[in-house]
Amino acid sequence: MDKRQLQSKDGEGEMHLMLNRHSKVIPLRDVHSGTDLQTDQEALNDKLSFLQITYEDLARVRDVSSLMEPYFDLIAKRQYDVIEQFPSLNAIILEHSHRERLERTFVAYFKSLFSADITNPEFWMKRRRIGRVHSKIQVTADWYVGSYVRLFEYLIPVIVDKWNKWPGELSEILLACMKIVLLDMQVIMEEYEEQALFINIEKLSDVLEYMFELNGTLSVAEKAAKVQEDADNISAAAQQLTASVREVADYAVKATEHSERVMRDAQAGGEVARTALEGIVALRQAFEQLQHQSTAVVSAAERISSVLELIQEIAEQTHVLSLNAGIEAARAGEHGRSFQVIASEVRALANQTRNSIQDTMEIIRDVQNAAHTMNQVTERISHELVEKVGTAHQAMGAVENIVSEVHRIVEYMANIAANTEEQAAATDDIATRVTDIMDGVMNVQNAIDALGHDIYRTSVQVNDLRNSMVERIANAHHDRMLLRIAKTDHLLWKWWLYNYMMGYHPMEEEQLKDHHQCRFGKWYDAAKGHSRFAANPLFQRLDQPHQRVHQLASEIYHALQQDIRSDVSMKMRDLEEASQEVVRLLNALYEELERQ
């Protein structure tokens, strides 16, 4: 057979197919240079070459297309009659569309397969999108491929009926149709496989990104170290507190003992005061008796004065009578001489009595004056004693109150002593527990470190598996898929930085400061020439925060080298903000592609 050349319909390029099944297929030239289609052309050429599809095959398929035209609607109806017998498939239809619409798309799908220019890669990109949609709505590959049977149910009988008299041509036509169908199935299955890989990559990316959220291990480790430091301080403080509490307890015990002595002294003083008060009360009573007695003396002296006055009057009268008797005796002469002597004696006795009474009166006056003075003194002292007794009663009440308060103070001090003893025991227990806590914190630190190592090793293994899958779709032409991979690559780079800070992952400064050398940076630089990305403002804004991430990472590297932890914490916060901006822009770009 001779070679034929087919010109693509869009006129922008051409595809060469070898009509000789034993000839080598000439590779395609770029049809849409600068678009994502060119990455798929080599694979498409390989399929065409492997299936040995010729231009005669394409001509035969077009001949069959005109014969199948009346049957496409019947094939679609038959397809969905069968589907309705399977609840799971029918549920997918009801969730995402309706039967009438899907029958129309089914007819258009197979019509285009038999009439389209399969040399145009754009045709196959549309087929891939169809496969992608079916994969997305969870119509599995086995159900999708099984749908080709509906086509064969009508296609084979029609071909056999038409060319049964020409077996050679019949076999060529059947083989040509089978090649086209197999090519279609290959493209669809490749899309399913790629979607399955993408789903697995997404799942692995989700797992990795979930693990990235565990970067709190660094924070936890730092907090555990802070807890360890605080525990050390608490331990020292607890020991000081224990010593202080024990000292307070000793003072409290001594104060209790002293208070007990004070209480005993206060009680003894109270007894002395009570005895003194009772003596004062008795003294008052004695002075009252003395006052009564002095009053009685005054009264007796007054009565004696009255008697003496009476005797004085009698003496005066006797003196007068003795004078008169002397005069009368003188007149009587010799007969009155003896009477005169008696009168003279009586007069002398009266004078003596009068003198004695005067002396006695003076003494009685002195006694009266002394009695009056003593009475006044005793009365004054008695009044003072009354006041002092009242004061003594108040003082006694105060002493009793003091004794009662001292007793309560003793009880309080005893309670304080007991409580401080308990506190001393408690602080001892606290110190012991703090020591246990310190041991526990050390164990936690070791466990965190071991967990961090385990998480890091797991992330390395998961990423190795992810990379192996990414390599299988190295020529992926789905922008959405590339964005998803790029997002995880960025987060993964930050994850390695975290693990470098934990001491798990080796990194050099060159890997940190140059934002063109990381996988995300390489993807970004390559995508600048991508027509769907280059002009997008969201894409263009990615470079600045991404460069900021690397700049901060380099500064963190130097801060770690100089052990300036405060700078590390501050710069990590800034780096996280810049990274979040990168992720936000990627998510927005991803959502924009989803809407398209």
Q: What is the pLDDT of residues 452-494, one digit of tens each?
A: 778 888 888 888 888 887 877 655 556 778 888 889 999 989 8
- What per-residue confidence (pLDDT) applies to 325? 76
Q: How far apart are CA 534 and CA 589, in angstroms?
A: 12
Calculate mean pLDDT across residues 184-194. Answer: 83
Range ranked top by mean pLDDT from 66-70, 448-452, 578-582: 578-582
Q: How far apart are CA 43 and CA 36, in angstroms?
A: 13
Q: How far apart are CA 188 and CA 144, in angstroms?
A: 9
Calculate mean pLDDT across residues 302-316. Answer: 74
Say how far residue 273 (Cα) sits from the centre of its chain: 66
For tokens 């592609």, what's the residue? 593
**CATH top class, domain 478-595:** mainly alpha
CATH topology of domain 4-165: Globin-like (1.10.490)
Structure tokens that stand for 279 in this block: 């003596």
Say how far residue 11 (Cα) sits from the centre of its chain: 66
Cross-strand partners of 17? 4
pTM over 0.75: no
Comparing CA positions, the residue from 456, 443, 553, 552 lying closest to residue 502 is: 456
Interior angle at CA 242, CA 238 and CA 247, nearest 5:
150
**For residue 397, what pLDDT band results from cuts at 50, 70 and 90?**
confident
- What per-residue confidence (pLDDT) applies to 13? 36
Per-position b or e across 210-226, b if 16+ CB within 10 A of its CB: ebbebbebbebbbebee
Q: Is the pLDDT of residue 10 over 50?
A: no
Q: How far apart are CA 143 and CA 81, in angstroms?
A: 14
Range in 79-93, 98-112, 334-348, 452-466 the model is least confident about: 334-348
Comparing CA positions, the residue from 188, 205, 200 lying closest to residue 139 is: 188
Range ranked top by mean pLDDT from 15-19, 275-279, 315-319: 315-319
**For residue 73, what pLDDT band results from cuts at 50, 70 and 90?**
very high
> Which part of the chain has CATH 1.20.120?
478-595
Q: Is the pLDDT of residue 218 over 70?
A: no
- What per-residue confidence (pLDDT) applies to 290? 67
Q: Is the pLDDT of residue 269 over 90?
A: no
Calculate mean pLDDT across residues 41-48. Answer: 77
Compute the 3-state secondary structure of the chain and give helix, strand, coil in percent, each to the nearest 5.
85, 0, 15
Distance (Å) of CA 242 to CA 231, 235, 255, 433, 437? 16, 10, 19, 13, 17
- What per-residue confidence (pLDDT) applies to 476? 54
Which has the higher per-residue pLDDT, 482 or 516? 516
For tokens 């430091």, what's the residue? 229
CB of 301 closer than 8 Å to CB of 368: yes
Average pLDDT, the chain: 76
pLDDT digits (tens, 9 = 90+) for 538-557: 999 999 999 999 999 988 88
Q: How far apart are CA 39 and CA 42, in angstroms?
A: 7
pLDDT more than 70, % of the chain: 73
CB of 417 closer than 8 Å to CB of 252: yes
- 89 conformational bin, left if phi > 0, alpha if psi -120 to 50, beta if neither: alpha
Q: How far apart are CA 420 and CA 422, in angstroms?
A: 5
- Asked if the 220-440 domain carries CATH number 3.90.280.10, the reply is no
Q: How far apart are CA 256 and CA 236, in angstroms?
A: 30
Mind giving me the DSSP string for 172-235?
HHHHHHHHHHHHHHHHHHHHHHHHHHHHHHHHHHHHHHHHHGGGHHHHHHHHHHHHHHHHHHHH
CB of 531 closer than 8 Å to CB of 35: yes
> Which part of the chain has CATH 1.10.287.950?
220-440
Calculate mean pLDDT across residues 562-585. Answer: 87
Range ranked top by mean pLDDT from 374-388, 411-425, 454-468: 454-468
Q: Is the pLDDT of residue 574 over 90?
A: yes
> Which part of the chain has CATH 1.10.490.10?
4-165
Cross-strand partners of 16? 5
**For residue 34, what pLDDT band results from cuts at 50, 70 and 90?**
very low
- What per-residue confidence (pLDDT) applies to 11? 34
pLDDT more than 90, % of the chain: 13
**For residue 176, what pLDDT band results from cuts at 50, 70 and 90?**
very high
Which has the higher per-residue pLDDT, 157 or 140? 157
pLDDT digits (tens, 9 = 90+) for 276-307: 666 766 666 666 676 676 677 777 767 777 77
Calculate mean pLDDT across residues 116-145. Answer: 81
- What per-residue confidence (pLDDT) applies to 31? 37
- What per-residue confidence (pLDDT) applies to 592? 86
Range in 199-208, 230-239, 545-554 the model is least confident about: 230-239
Q: Report long-range pairs for 64-70 (Cβ below 8 Å, ≥24 apart).
A: 64/114, 64/155, 64/158, 64/159, 64/173, 64/176, 64/177, 65/111, 65/114, 65/115, 67/158, 67/159, 67/162, 68/110, 68/114, 68/154, 68/155, 68/158, 69/111
Structure tokens that stand for 390 in this block: 């009242």
Range in 169-178, 430-439, 460-469 the model is least confident about: 430-439
- What per-residue confidence (pLDDT) applies to 550? 93
Calculate mean pLDDT across residues 415-433. Answer: 71
Q: Is the pLDDT of residue 224 over 70?
A: no
